[in-house]
Each structure stands twice: as C-alpha cells, then as structure tokens.
Amino acid sequence: MKLLIKNANVITPWEVLKEHSVLIENDKIKKIEENDNLDENCCNKVIDAKGNYLSPGFIDIHNHGNFGYDTMDASFEALDSMANFHLKNGVTGFLATTMTDSYEKIERALKNTANYIDVQNREKGSSQVLGIYLEGPYFSEEKKGAQPLEYIKNPNINELGNFIDASRGHIKIVSIAPELEGSFEIISYLKSNNINIAVGHTNSTFSKAKEAIDKGVTITTHLFNGMRGFSHREPGILGAVLIDDRVLCEIICDGIHLHTAAIKLAVKMKGTKGIILISDAMRAAGLEDGEYTLGGQKVFVKNNEAKLFDGTLAGSTLTLNKAVYNMVHKLNLPLKDAVVMASLNPAKAVGLSDQKGSIEIGKDGDLIIFDEKINVSTAIVNGKILYLKD
C-alpha cells in the first residue's frame, strides 16, 4: 500500500517545507520530496493537501476522557469513543489516564485498557492507545487538586506491582509525590521496570524534588498545577524541575489553568524540547456545559471550565489541536515548535520517538492535515486514512 500526500506545507522539527509531498509505504514514511519529484502514478491513494499543513499526529500522554467517557469507566465502549474523538482533533496516539480511586476500580481500568490495547493492535482502526498513565493514588493531601482525598495514600510497592501486572506491562508513566514515605523505593522500582516516573500533586521541597530527579524522575505532571508554589527561599518542586534539563514539563494551555506569563516563563526556562502539551481532558471535552463526574465526584462545567463544587479545577475540556492553536496564536510561538511540543516531545517522554512524533523517513505513518487555525481535516494512522472531515 502506497499513500501520497501532495501539495502540503510539511512540518518537521526543524522547519516547514513549503509545497512538499510525503510518501507512505507499508505504514512507514518512505520519502519527503518537493512536489515535482514524486510520481503519483505509482501510488494506491493520493491526498491533495491543497496548501494546508501536514504534521506528525499529536500524542496526548495525559487525558482522562472525552465525549462523555472516561478511562475509569473501564469499558471498551469508553476507550473506543475516546479514540475516535481524538482522531477528529489530530491525536493519533494517547495514553489512557487513570486517577486516584479505590484499588478495585483502578485495577479494573488497567485490565480493561490492557485488553483494549491488545485488540486495537490487531485491528488498528482508530487513534492508538499507546499505554497507560497512572495518575495517583500516591499523592500529597495538601496538593490533591481534584483527586479524591479518601483514596490518597503513601506508595506501596506490592500494590504498585499488582497494578503493573494488571496492566500487562502497558503502564508507561506513574505520577507520584516524591516527599511521601516510600517514594524513593517506588522510583527505583519503576525505573528498574522501564516505567517513566512523573512528579505531581506534590508539596515537595526543592531538595527532595532534586533527589527524586537524581534517582530517575523525568516528567512533571501538569506544571504549576497541583504543586507547591515557588519562593525565593524555598524554590520547591517548581524550582527543581524548571532548571533541570532532564525533566520534561507538561503544560495545559487552555487559557484557564495557567496565565500566559507562566507558560512563557516555562518555555523560556525549558526551551522547545522541554515542554509537553497535554489536554488533561475529562469526559466533558467535546460536549456542552453541564454536570459531569470525575473520580466519582460531581464536576460542573461552565464556559469550558470544569470545577468541583468547591471551585477546584477538575481537569479540562481542552483538545490538543486547540492547545497548539493557543501556543501559536496567543503566545506567538512558531508553529513548528508548538507541534514538537504536541508530538515529538510526548513521544520522547514515553520512549517512542524512534517510531513516532515527527515526519522523518522510516517513522510510522501517523500524520494529520490542518489549516491555519489547526482545524483538522485528515488523520492518518499507520498509513491508513482513518478520518476525513466531511
């Protein structure tokens, strides 16, 4: 099977190639050439991008749900619906994200997602579930955010081992508060199992956070949100992650979770390579204002803001293409840089950058076409056209 996308402005990590074509053969990117250099007669299918942008598919490593469903629903229907909604917004791969809840409910969600991944890998018909993001329950009570207090606990290595077994090895990221008793043992354990460690919902001091990074932490869960604030005498977790190039920082760029100045500060400190755009979306994403749930708690959505009864932010209704739009049109970031933050950087965070995250020869044919406003018209996964806007 050969698929040619022609007349595109091709976004690479280094530049935007004007009036170029990309050839996909056997699910992989085979050629990237100027329009005149590729013969479309040899292809099974040709897509005319009509001067729009051709981008690597976005990868949303931190999202709980959308369009009325949540990972914690623990059903095939939920993950299927979420995956199909993701395609329309340019996400060709994502991590199904759990949250703090009872042991039984987390285990059920992990088993369901593992089963779904096995089936999806055979069928390959929608946005790919690339793994699981275990957000909680090992968090700080002081910085719990919308994580249910009754299920927050200190890390337990036996319990975590059971979670890993339930996921059948599909857990890619575990987020913890590093100041909790037993956290360093957990970090070492996760590292030995090739699972990425994030710090989040934490009241950690600078020294404790620095020690956790030295032991293997590489990701920050939604930077600024759910963590100790910065002080000039106690820089805390923020100071530690912002100055350390070993740590990638997640950002929710929805105009609600963070002031634009905070995002600009993070980009100045971390550079293009150090920021991951995430949605942190909950089940209200893609739907109208109203009452929803997150972790068994009532969530009230008004003007796209999702909040608990006490006003605590409870995830977002953001989509990743909108996050890219905001970075470009509200923070004046170059488009290629915003795309890297939504594709190559998340791929690096979960160890998939040799296969996904950029338009390079030999990588998976996960591509999207969008216009100046990042409205997605086409989504291609493993060289197969899975979404075409009517």
DSSP 201: S
Q: Are 98 and 132 in contact (CB under 8 A)?
A: yes
- Consult the annotation and say whether 135 binds a ligand: yes
Instruction: Report the Cα 172 to chain-centroid distance in Å.
Output: 11
| Residue from 60, 254, 280, 366 carrying the catalytic annotation | 280
Has 245 been annotated as catalytic? Answer: no
Interior angle at CA 236, CA 230 and CA 240, nearest 5: 105
Tell me: is residue 257 an annotated ligand-binding position: yes
146 annotated among ligand-binding-site residues = yes
Parallel/antiparallel/unpaired status of strands 290-294 and 297-302: antiparallel
Write down how long the chain is: 390
What backbone phi and psi angles, to 5 degrees, belong to 3? -120, 130
Q: CB–CB of 216/190 below 8 Å?
A: yes
285 assigned ligand-binding residue: no
Is 236 annotated in a binding site? The answer is no
Residue 233 labeled ligand binder: yes
315 is in an annotated binding site: yes
| Cα separation, 24 vs 218, whole angstroms | 33
| End-to-end CA separation in angstroms for the chain | 24
Find the angle CA(106)-CA(111)-CA(116) to the nearest 5 degrees.
125
Does the annotation list 313 as a binding residue? Answer: yes
CA 126 to chain centre: 16
* CA atoms of 15 and 157, how far apart (whole Å): 45
349 is in an annotated binding site: no
Alpha carbon distances (Å) from 1 to 24, 29, 126, 221, 382: 8, 12, 18, 39, 11
Positions annotated as catalytic residues are 280
Extract the annotated binding site for substrate: 146, 225-226, 233, 257, 313-315
Residue numbers in the known binding site are 135, 146, 201, 222, 225-226, 233, 257, 313-315
